[in-house]
C-alpha cells in the first residue's frame, strides 16, 4: 500500500558557530609573580588550580564548577610580602584569557545577571561583556580576614579581572554577615552570570551591539 505522504527528513549542520571550543592560554611572568592559566569556556566545570592561596583556589573552583568552564591555573608569587600581587595577577590572566577565548564575541548573549543566596547572604551580580571595563562593588565585609585571606582582595581580584576581560561588572550584596559566605555568593553569582552571558544564541546573527563591534 502506497503512503499518500512523503516525509523528508534532512539533517543539517549549523555552520553559524564554530565546532571548535573557545580556549585560551595565558602565561605571565614578572619579578613578583608567575602565572600559567588555560581556560575552555565550553567546558564541563573541571578545574586544576594551585595558586598557593587556599581561599583563592576555593573561589576559583566555585567559579569553574558553576560557570561550567574548564580551568587550569598554576601560580606562584612573592607571598613573603603578602597575597596581593598573586591575587591581582591571577585576576589579570583570567580576564585576558576570557577576552581572548571569546574572540569577536559574535553570537553571544553579552548581558546577564544572577542572584545567589549563601545561607544568610544574598549576592546580586549583573554584567555586560561590553569591551568597556568597569567595576561597581557595593559590598561590606565585617571582618578584615577570611581565614588567612585579606577580604579586601576580593575586590582587587575583580578589578583586575574586569579590566582585562573588558567586562562591566556590578556586584551588590544587600545583606550578609559571614565574610566567607559573602565571598562565596559573589563568586557563584559571577559564575552563573558569566556562564549565561558567554552562551551562543542562534537568534543573534552577529555581534550583539548596534555599533557592530564590542
- CATH, range 23-197: 3.30.230.40
Q: So what's the pLDDT on residue 11?
A: 34
Whole-model pTM over 0.85: yes
Q: So what's the pLDDT on residue 5?
A: 41
149 and 55 Cβ atoms separated by less than 8 Å: yes
Q: For 69-82, write each residue's pLDDT tens digit.
A: 999 999 999 999 99
Q: Which of 126, 184, 123, 128 is nearest to 151 (CA)?
A: 184
Q: So what's the pLDDT on residue 6?
A: 40
Q: What angle do CA 129, 87, 130 make, to 5 degrees?
A: 10
60/135 Cα distance (integer angstroms): 19
Q: So what's the pLDDT on residue 18?
A: 53
Q: For 111-148, write each residue's pLDDT tens digit.
A: 999 999 999 999 999 999 999 999 999 999 999 999 99
Cell readout for 124 is 546580586
Q: Which parts of the chain sit beneath pLDDT 70?
A: 1-20
Q: So what's the pLDDT on residue 20?
A: 63
152 and 139 Cβ atoms separated by less than 8 Å: no
Q: Which of 30, 97, 104 is nearest to 64 (CA)?
A: 97
Q: So what's the pLDDT on residue 156?
A: 98
Amino acid at each position: 500500500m502506497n503512503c499518500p505522504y512523503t516525509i523528508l527528513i534532512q539533517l543539517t549542520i549549523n555552520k553559524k558557530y564554530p565546532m571548535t571550543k573557545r580556549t585560551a592560554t595565558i602565561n605571565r611572568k614578572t619579578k613578583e609573580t608567575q602565572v600559567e592559566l588555560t581556560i575552555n569556556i565550553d567546558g564541563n566545570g573541571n578545574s586544576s588550580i594551585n595558586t598557593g592561596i587556599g581561599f583563592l583556589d576555593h573561589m576559583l573552583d566555585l567559579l569553574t564548577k558553576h560557570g561550567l568552564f574548564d580551568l587550569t591555573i598554576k601560580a606562584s608569587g612573592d607571598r613573603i610580602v603578602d597575597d596581593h600581587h598573586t591575587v591581582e595577577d591571577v585576576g589579570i590572566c583570567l580576564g585576558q584569557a576570557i577576552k581572548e577565548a571569546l574572540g569577536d564575541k559574535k553570537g553571544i548573549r553579552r548581558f546577564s545577571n544572577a542572584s545567589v543566596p549563601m545561607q544568610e547572604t544574598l549576592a546580586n551580580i549583573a554584567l555586560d561583556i561590553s569591551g568597556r571595563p568597569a567595576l561597581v562593588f557595593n559590598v561590606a565585609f565585617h571582618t578584615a580576614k577570611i581565614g588567612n585571606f585579606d577580604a579586601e582582595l576580593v575586590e582587587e581580584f575583580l578589578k583586575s579581572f574586569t579590566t582585562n576581560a573588558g567586562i562591566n561588572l556590578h556586584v551588590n550584596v544587600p545583606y550578609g554577615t559571614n565574610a566567607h559566605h559573602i565571598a562565596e555568593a559573589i563568586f557563584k553569582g559571577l559564575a552563573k552570570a558569566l556562564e549565561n552571558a558567554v552562551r551562543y544564541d542562534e537568534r543573534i546573527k552577529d555581534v550583539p551591539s548596534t555599533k557592530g563591534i564590542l
